[in-house]
Amino acid sequence: MSAMSYKSNSKLSIAIIISIILHVILIIILGYRAMYNDDANYGSVNGNSIDAIMVDPSVMTEQYQRQLKSQVSQKQAEQKRQQQIDEQARKLQEQQLAQEQRLKELEKERLKVEELQKKEAEAAQAARVARQKEEDARKVKEHLEQQRRQAEKQRLEQQQAELAKQKLEQEARLKAERELLDKQREENLRKEKELAEQKAEQEAKVKAEQEFIEKQRSENERKQAELAKQKEEQEKKQAAEKAAADKAAAEKAKQAAQAKKDKELDNLLGGLTSGTPSPSSGVASRKGVSDGELDKYKSLVQTAISNKFINPNKLYSGRNCVLEIQIAPDGLLLNVSAKDGDEALCREALSATKQAVIPKPASAFYNQVKTMTIDFQPK
């Protein structure tokens, strides 16, 4: 900082010396001009000494003209000198102003240098403070790191102790689990043995049931064959009954015609034969159908359903299902529905009814059985 200050002070001293020299030159020039003006005015009209000399007017005129020219020349020379002096003074003033401007710039530079030096000093101080802070932070960081390492060491030691404890507990737990697994394995083997025995029993039972079902199916097929034979015989019987019924109807028509003739004859004879019994009462008596015949037909229908019904191990014994059956005159099943009874039994009974061969009803009681109710009870 001292070198920079010395350099700026040296420049300032040189500028002051140059300014003083220029002022001295300006004073000398102004003094010389004043002295020259005094010499030029010596012997003029305004002077104090006057010489009385006889001169020739022409000489005076010529002298006057020379003097006039001389004054003009002097005046021009003076103006020229004045212009030169003014020009010199202007140049000196410009140089002085330039010097002053330079001095101002130098002063500004000096102030900038001082400001820069001040900033550099502040920056150096800030750097020292920052370094000190960094050093303090480093020491604090090292102290914290040391504490962290110490805490980490303690944590690891504690964790190792806990792991050792957990290992012992896990070994004890695994030992207990192994013992439990051994017991469970033995229990599972015992249960598997029991299940195998139960399975063998179940398979034997299923085999027996299958054999029974197969035997029942064979029996049902035999019964269906018998039923078909019975149906064929029934159809033959019904055909014979129909033929007999047709013959009886013809006989009945013949008797009715004869009765009509007899009645007309009685009317003609004045009721002489009114004591003859009316054949209509006999016809009416023959129209009735006994309950035994209806029960017998319903028993045949139930037998037909039983032949298609499978009851393994008498599973549905003791249960009943009320069926409503609609048939055609030839025994064809038109519709069947369950009205009441065990749901599972009714489901199987409906299926068996749809497969059964319903015997053809006699025409004499078809109207009584075309929609009939069967209380189905498996045997």
Model confidence pLDDT, tens digit, residues 286-341 = 345 677 888 999 999 999 999 999 887 888 888 999 999 999 999 899 999 999 99
Q: CA–CA separation, 95 vs 15, rounded Å?
A: 11
Contact call for residues 349 and 376 (beta carbons, < 8 A)? yes
Neighbours of 247 (CB within 10 A): 10
Q: Band of the pLDDT at 22, cuts 50, 70, 90?
A: confident
Question: According to the model, what pLDDT value does residue 98 have?
Answer: 87
Can you read off the two tokens belonging to residue 114? 């001082």
Instruction: Compute the distance between CA of residue 301 and CA of residue 358 in angstroms, rounded to an integer.
Output: 6
Distance CA(96)–CA(90), nearest Å, equals 9
Q: Two tokens at 15?
A: 């500028």
Rounded CA separation 88/28 (Å): 13
Digit-coded pLDDT (tens) for 47-67: 444 444 454 567 667 777 777
pLDDT above 70 coverage of the chain, percent:
75
pLDDT of residue 9: 54
Check pLDDT > 70 for residue 213: no
Read off the tokens for 270.
Answer: 């004045």
Per residue in 258-286, pLDDT (tens digit) is 767 666 655 665 444 333 333 333 333 33
Instruction: Answer whether 15's CB lies under 8 Å from 103's CB.
Output: yes
| Residue 201 pLDDT > 60 | yes
Q: What is the rounded average pLDDT for all residues in the chain? A: 78
* CA angle, residues 11, 12, 17, in degrees to nearest 5: 100
CA distances from 96 to 24, 81, 84, 93, 325 (A): 13, 21, 18, 5, 146
pLDDT of residue 35: 67
User: Which has more pLDDT, 210 or 336?
Assistant: 336
Nearest-angstrom CA–CA distance, 42 and 36: 10
- 249 pLDDT more than 60: yes
pLDDT confidence band for 32 (50 / 70 / 90): confident
Torsion of CA 32, 36, 37, 38, to 10 degrees: 110
- Please give the pLDDT value at position 245: 64
By the 10 Å C-beta count (0-12 exposed, 13-18 middle, 19+ buried), 327 is classed as buried
Q: Which residue has the tokens 């009721």?
A: 271
Q: Which of 370, 361, 374 is nearest to 326 (CA)?
A: 370
Q: Given phi > 0 = left and psi -120 to 50 = alpha, else beta, which region is 270?
A: left
What residues contact residue 229 under an 8 Å CB cut-off, 6+ apart? none
The answer to whether the beta carbons of residues 87 and 81 sit under 8 Å apart is no
| Number of neighbours of residue 133 by Cβ within 10 angstroms | 10
In the chain, what is the straight-line distance between the N-terminal and C-terminal CA atoms, in Å?
134
Specify the pLDDT at position 248. 63
pLDDT at 144 over 80: yes
Position 31: which residue type?
G
